[in-house]
Amino acid sequence: MTKIYERLRYERKGEQGEQLWLTLDNEPMRNAMDDLMQRELIEVLKEACYDNSIRCIVIGGAGQKSFCSGGDIKLFETLTMVSGYDFAYERGNTLQQLISYMEKPVIAAVGGMCFAGGLELALVCDFIYATANATFGLLEINLGLLAGWGGTVRLPRAIPVRRAKEMLYRGEIISATEAHRLGLVNRVFETREQMDEALEKTVAEMMAKPPLALRATKNVVNNSLTCDSIEAALSIERGATMWLLASDDSKEGVAAFVEKRKPEFKGK
């Protein structure tokens, strides 16, 4: 299944179209998220969030040189203090909420530049694969701004705090190798082809898992990270465990293990 957008490439993969591969497509602007791309991305993610036929999302960038260079700087010229706040809330907050709380894995496939809003988009994904030519940075300070789509909050949670501060204060750009060393990136590949091959393997492995358990795992991890109390987090975990125990998939998984056969999960 393919849908046509002006700033996104939309492709469904897998035997039942359960994988959604999105490509940010604005190469003349290094895949910058202009107004149209932002609106299209929110529209697609809102639809995907509640579409149970979609079980995994991969977000990449068109071409070899850029995942996403950030936002369209010209948009900032039109914003006031109030409209700028509303814009950040409507666009940045909405994108973060959709990706964080949709109960399906979202993977960032980063090749080339991953700056500003592009890095903030990648940070909110569940994990990041990158090519060796990828570079990462939150550069908003150079414009007299800060990374206001979650960058100043999520980067210090993704890498050591002092290293995050240095990147933010300096507007520093780091390599894929450094990003991997810091734990910002899961895996680094020499070529885009190698990364895509690894992505397809990883996605296929996840799609073979029981759908409800995969959904619940993301839900518990993300919600537990917001808890001040570990006991509250453990309570969330126990509740999800009890919910899964009542599922047909759980019964099938246990039966298949006992009977030494391959399970057939149906997401029920």
140: annotated active-site residue:
yes
**What 3-state class would DSSP assign to 101?**
helix
- Cβ contact 64:112 at 8 Å: yes
Contacts of 79 (CB under 8 A, 6+ apart): 87
Distance CA 141, CA 122 (A): 19
Q: How far apart are CA 26 and CA 34, in angstroms?
A: 9
The answer to whether 133 and 119 are in contact (CB under 8 A) is: no
Q: Which of 140, 205, 252, 264 is catalytic?
A: 140
Catalytic residue, chosen from 27, 120, 190, 231, is: 120
82-95 b/e (C-beta count within 10 Å ≥ 16 → b):
eeeeebeeebbebb
Is residue 106 classed as helix, strand or coil in its secondary structure? strand
Residues 36, 42, 46, 52: is their CA dihedral positive or negative? positive
Positions annotated as catalytic residues are 120, 140
